[in-house]
Structure 1
Amino acid sequence: MTVVLGIETSCDETGAGLVAEGRLLGDALSSSMSEHARFGGVVPEIAARAHLEAMLPVVREALTRASLDLSDVGAVAVTAGPGLSTAVQVGLASAKAFAFALDVPLYGVHHLAGHAAVDVLEHGPLPPRCVALVVSGGHTSLLLLGDLARDPIVHLGDTADDAAGEAFDKVARILGLPYPGGPSVDRAARDGDPRAIAFPRPLTRPSDPRYGFSFSGLKTAVARWVEARQGAGGDLPVADVAASFQEAVADTVTRKAVAACLDHGVDTLLVVGGVAANSRVRALAEERCAAAGIELRVPPMRLCTDNGAMIAAVGDLLVRAGAPASELRIPADPSAPLTGALLAGPWR
């Protein structure tokens, strides 16, 4: 049995996780979110410094929770991209140091593959084929997955502009809600009417890309509605705006995800990423999957956002599949395309 240490530093969370044979042994997380809140978004330099400060304490905490020593680690997996350049570099340098010192294999993996792999820790192995809806602050994609460790990942559709989570952050600012926007909008929406305002459902016309996403226009529609309301001297119904916007996002992403499953003869939908923690996205996905006879798999809420367990999970799959390890000179790739779980490049 090989214990895989996973390290995640793509944005503002420093995560470490330990996984063996599909089982999470222990994990720990440190977030610098509070340091970014006053700026209304993540500042890369602040995030990188926070990763430097948190790395060793987080790894130690994960080992303690797993009742393991560092010498028990048999492989190291790390996010090599995509993500904030300086943040990814901190995690990658740390992982290289651990792998070199322990004389164990290093696996530079794709961040989004980790989001898909983390569900294995809760619900067991993925089926031979499934559709994954990735909804996060930086990504909104529909993927066709086979064997995550061995097969290429097929992009069915991606966002043309803002990701869903990015739109949540921007709408939160428009409404005067605190950062991060996803949880703030979700909380505000609980007291609102999702049918109060008919915001557009982006790219849902017959002539539009069937699996494509675009949330920039939806964010602009919210901004214009708010401007018009305030310009007319009316009170701003924050809860109704939040609920109506959230409904538009949830309706759009779940509609396209279910359509992708039906079109490709897939009976399992995997919903992952930070926005998978949104209450309406989860509820509507469950409702529509049940109606279509599709099994819905969503990781526990704490594993939806960035964490070290998800990187350890994809590393564990790669180890068990006998995948080749990365060389220690593997570079960070902040804009890495997703073609497979293991990042490849000219260093091989």
Structure 2
Amino acid sequence: MVPQISYILAIESSCDDTACAILKDAQVLSNVVAGQEIHIQYGGVVPELASRAHQSHIVPVVDQALKKAGITKKDLTAIAFTRGPGLMGSLLVGASFAKSLALALDIPLIDVHHMHGHILAHFINEGQEVPQFPFLGVTISGGHTQIIKVTDYHKMEVIGTTQDDAIGEAFDKSGKMLGLGYPAGPQIDQLSKKGDPKKFPFPIPKAPNLNYSFSGFKTAVLYFIQREVKKNPDFVKENLHDICASIQHTLIKILFQKIEKAVKETGINTVAMGGGVSANSGIRSRLTSYNQKGWNTFVPPFAYTTDNAAMIGISGYFKYLDGYTAGMEITASPRISM
């Protein structure tokens, strides 16, 4: 029998953000994230540097989360952590810390699938309306682009996924070709607001069923820039806003073509989006526009879109309510399936 009130400490370390959150049942008491700016100079995440930074950040991040929540380690009911997917070295830091803390406190350990966390972030209790089962979960990030049929808190089926690159990678790599810093996705979003989204048409990649493909899109952007710069060395500088707007417009079109198809094929018109790219203003605007067509759409608050521990905590909370506990033999799994 679980206590009437639970305090879940959650750890997220799948990539380059070290995060810890404290949840009182489904309510977030604290949600602390330590980023790693060192990767900016490399134009992407360097796995070895990421794991080293996690080792430096995790103790102060956990300490800060506990202090912000106003509780001590002795008040904790369970420890949740990201088991995967993600970078092996980064995941191992979070998993090892979580196991050690759970063992020291003699409380349950709960492993969480990173993508489950992005989907269940919608159920963090902030007094908002939440999706009703079944619904379609759309996870979009630097490493994932998936359409998932969600039947309950633990039953999820991937019905569409990327066959190569994720939409977040398409944003970032396109931005890198334009000379933008890392991560380029948010910069493209801002620059596109002053551009013409239909100025430069880009091709729509073909992928079977509900799957995605973004590799060909990146190649098309590369060839386009090379061709135009050959004619005019200042082409990118002179047309930056229009290029960004055209890139964003095309990626949004690619994304929603398959979401529309998924709604039609499944008959489920409740769509809940999550993942770092769901912070994109164009994507959020496009999703909410479907409410006028009879859809029920949901996007989490910005704090719960990018990698964070609160989403791991809420997923762990629902597993805890079901009496689930992981054994101490469990370890990180960088390619774990849904």
Q: TM-score range with shorter-chain normalisation?
A: over 0.9
Cα deviations across residues 18-75 of structure 1 (Å, max 9, x unaligned)? 123211111111000x100010000011111111111111111111221111111101
Structure 1: distance between partners of 2:221 and 2:241: 13
Task: Single out whichever of 59-68 and 8-17 deviates more from structure 2.
Answer: 59-68
Residue identity opposite 1:284 in structure 2: R
Cα deviations across residues 138-182 of structure 1 (Å, max 9, x unaligned)? 000000001123x2x111110011100111111111000010011
Residue identity opposite 1:8 in structure 2: E
The match for 2:293 is 292
The match for 1:216 is 215
Structure 2: distance between partners of 1:39 and 1:78: 28
Residue identity opposite 1:275 in structure 2: V
The match for 1:315 is 316
Residue identity opposite 1:156 in structure 2: I
Deviation at 1:327, TM superposition (A): 0.6
Deviation at 1:2, TM superposition (A): 1.3
Aligned pairs (5 A) from 1:157-172 = 157-172=160-175
Deviation at 1:259, TM superposition (A): 2.6
Deviation at 1:89, TM superposition (A): 0.3
Q: What is the SS of the residue equivalent to 1:86?
A: helix
Is the CA contact (8 Å cut-off) linking 1:20 and 1:316 kept in structure 2?
no
The match for 2:305 is 304
Q: What is the SS of the residue equivalent to 1:330?
A: coil
Task: Tell me how large the CA RMSD over aligned residues is.
Answer: 1.3
Task: Single out whichever of 71-80 and 263-272 deviates more from structure 2.
Answer: 263-272
Which of residues 263, 266, 271 is equivalent to 1:264? Answer: 266
Q: TM-score, normalised by structure 1?
A: 0.92
Cα deviations across residues 65-98 of structure 1 (Å, max 9, x unaligned)? 2111111110111001110010000000010011
Asked if 1:189 corresponds to 2:192, the answer is yes
Aligned pairs (5 A) from 1:81-100 = 81-100=84-103
Which of residues 216, 238, 241 is equivalent to 1:239? Answer: 241
Residue identity opposite 1:16 in structure 2: C
Structure 2: distance between partners of 1:136 and 1:35: 20
Name stretches of at least 5 consecutive residues in structure 2 with no aligned partner: none
Structure 2: distance between partners of 1:254 and 1:285: 8
Is the CA contact (8 Å cut-off) linking 1:130 and 1:261 kept in structure 2?
no
Name stretches of at least 5 consecutive residues in structure 1 with no aligned partner: 339-348
Structure 1: distance between partners of 2:270 and 2:9: 29
Asked if 1:337 corresponds to 2:328, the answer is no
Deviation at 1:337, TM superposition (A): 0.9
Which of residues 20, 27, 35 is equivalent to 2:24? Answer: 20
The match for 1:342 is none
Runs of 4+ residues deviating >6 angstroms: none
Q: TM-score, normalised by structure 2?
A: 0.94
Cα deviations across residues 314-346 of structure 1 (Å, max 9, x unaligned)? 001111222x211111021111111xxxxxxxx
Residue identity opposite 1:55 in structure 2: I
Which of residues 4, 13, 20 is equivalent to 1:9? Answer: 13
Is the CA contact (8 Å cut-off) linking 1:258 and 1:269 kept in structure 2?
no
Q: What is the SS of the residue equivalent to 2:200?
A: coil
Deviation at 1:125, TM superposition (A): 4.8
